[in-house]
Structure formats: C-alpha cells, structure tokens
Amino acid sequence: MVHTDYLWFNTQQRQEFIRITDDVARIVASSGVTEGLALVSAMHITAAVYVNDWEDGLIQDFQAWLEKLAPAGLPYRHHHTGEDNGDAHLKRTVMGHQVMIPITAGRLDLGPWEQVFYAEFDGCRKKRVIVKVMGE
C-alpha cells in the first residue's frame, strides 16, 4: 500500500526550523500502514528535512554552523541569475532534502530523542513537503 500526503508551510522568516514529527505521525496513522517506511521530502531546493534531537540550543547551533559554511550576503555565482539565495541552496545540500523513517506497529519507529524537522532557508512564501507512506 502507498499513501501520499503533503505538509504546507508559509514561514514568516527567511530561515526557520519547524518540528514536524507529530504531523508526519498523523499522516502515518491515517495511512493504515502498520509495517513499512515513510519518506519525508522537501519539495523545494532551498529547504531541508532532517532527523535530530529537539534539545535547547541545538537549532541555534545548526543555524550558526550553517552560516559559517554558507554565509548569507556573499556574491555567489548563482546570484547572476537574478536570485539572492545562493546560501540557501548550499545550506539545504548540507542538511539533506529527505529522510526515510521506519514504521513499526503503525507508528514512526524513531530513537528515544529523534524528531523530524523541516528547515527553511529561503522562506516567506508557500512551500511543501511530501510524505509518502509505503508498506502493509
């Protein structure tokens, strides 16, 4: 069985991190799949989906680390196209665009501290994530 659903985001800031674990779990529960996998994938080239801890300060640590790797405001060659989001493309590549999460007994089978996040690096407009649940 395959079940597909979407999460939509319209972030208020250019860069935001949003915990989506409960939204993904809700889609898995509604799918009827009890054993399988959930693919969670950002459908925009300047957004990421990743799994990590939801611990105080960690999101800010990610933001500071990514800003060191791909600072905003540099004269990226991509900006010659008329865009100003070269850093957002690079940050997304570092964080990854999708994750596969096992489903066991009808629930996301995450580790004790693992959470699913959507990371936006060029926000303030409508974006989406696909959640494709596959299994039996």
pLDDT at 105 over 90: yes
Lowest mean pLDDT among 42-46, 79-83, 123-127: 79-83
Number of Cβ within 10 Å of residue 61's Cβ equals: 10
Query: The domain that contains 125 carries what CATH number?
Result: 2.60.120.460
pLDDT at 66 over 90: yes
Residue 63 has φ and ψ, to the nearest 5°, of -60, -45
Confidence tier at 79 by pLDDT (50, 70, 90): confident
What is the domain extent for residue 110?
Answer: 2-135
Give 92: exposed, middle or buried? Use CB within 10 Å, 0-12, 13-18, 19+. buried
pLDDT of residue 86: 94
For residue 1, what are its two tokens? 């069985």
Quote the CA–CA distance of 37 and 31 in Å, as a whole number.
11
Quote the CA–CA distance of 65 and 12 in Å, as a whole number.
22
Confidence tier at 83 by pLDDT (50, 70, 90): confident
Give the number of domains in the chain. Answer: 1
pLDDT in tens, 8-25: 999 999 999 999 999 999
Number of Cβ within 10 Å of residue 82's Cβ equals: 6
